[in-house]
Amino acid sequence: MAAGTHEVEHHTSLGVDNRKLLMWIFLASECLFFGTLISTYLIFKGQSLVGPYPDDILDIPLTSLSTFVLLMSSLTMVLAVYGAQHGRLGMMKAMLFATILLGVGFLGFQVYEFRHFAHVGLNLGTNQFGASFFVLTGFHGLHVGIGVAYLISLLFGSMRRSGLGKDRALWVDTAGLYWHFVDIVWIVVFTVVYLIPS
């Protein structure tokens, strides 16, 4: 009788779901990945011999807006998880969709920013600032892109085979962890790269 209702809850010796554990281990390693990139940025940003320099080019108001968009995507993501955990499928789908849209919106800001920088003469090879800036924010953007694909696959999965029900809420929960992590990385990047003056 319990088998039918709890197909997802495998018993594990740690008492936590393996998928969730895997995601947390992955995120812990991602801390180091971004820690390295942020360190590199901090070390290199003041060493450019030629411009454009960070103060000439970074657009704080515009990036605040994209930061806001990403923060709100975290809110919609957590509401999607809420919907999944409480069996409210309609809410979950709507919120997943909203999260995807906001994620794409954030990427749109980033594409605009990168194109603008290239237009005024900053690219990966221009100077130390350009190299470390594009590698750091580019990898973050890549993570957002992967997150968007991840969420789209969840959304499609929830539409097929009678949906991602409550028992499968863990899939949404795990995707949510990834998404929020990408958001907190941006919280740090926004402060370190954009807000703190060089």
Partner 1 sequence: MEHQASAHHDEHPPTTIREYVIIGVVLAVITLIELWLSYSGLSHGLMISLLLIFSAMKFIIVVAMFMHLRFDSRLFTRLFIFGFALASALLIALIAMFNFDETRSLFQASAPPPAATAAPQDGGDGDNGEGPADGGALLVKGQPVAEYFSSTCAGCHGQNREGVVGPALTPASLAGDDALYFDTIKNGRPGTAMPAWGATGLSDADIDVLVTFITTVEP
Per the document, the length of the chain is 198
Q: How far is the CB of 92 from partner 1 (least distance, A)?
A: 12
Query: What residues have CB less than 8 Å from 183, skipping those under 6 apart?
Result: 70, 71, 73, 74
Based on its alpha-carbon atoms, the radius of gyration of the chain, rounded to whole angstroms, reads 19
Residue (of 134, 90, 88) closest to 113 by Cα position: 134
Q: How far apart are CA 19 and CA 25, in angstroms?
A: 10
Residues 118-131 as b or e (16 or more Cβ within 10 Å = b): eeeebeeebbbbbb
149 belongs to the binding site for partner 1 (CB under 8 A)? no
Smallest gap from residue 43 Cβ to partner 1 (A): 5
Site for partner 1 in 46-65 (CB under 8 A): 46-47, 49-50, 60-61, 64
Number of DSSP helices (H) and strands (E) in the chain, helices first? 7, 0
Q: Does 78 bind partner 1 (CB under 8 A)?
A: yes
Residue 133 has which token pair?
């800036």
Instruction: Determine which residue in the list 75, 89, 118, 124 makes contact with partner 1, applying CB under 8 A.
Output: 75
Minimum distance of partner 1 from residue 158's CB (angstroms): 17
**Looking up tokens 């990047």, which residue turns up?**
189
Using the rule CB under 8 A, is 18 a contact of partner 1? no
Question: At its nearest, how many Å lie between partner 1 and the CB of residue 22?
Answer: 11
Contact residue for partner 1 among 15, 115, 160, 162 (CB under 8 A): 15
The smaller minimum CB distance to partner 1, of residues 2 and 115, is found at: 2
Give residues in contact with partner 1 (CB under 8 A).
5-6, 14-16, 20-21, 24-25, 27-32, 34-36, 38-40, 42-43, 46-47, 49-50, 60-61, 64, 67-68, 71-72, 74-75, 77-79, 82, 85-87, 166, 169, 173, 176-177, 180-181, 183-184, 187-188, 190-191, 194-197
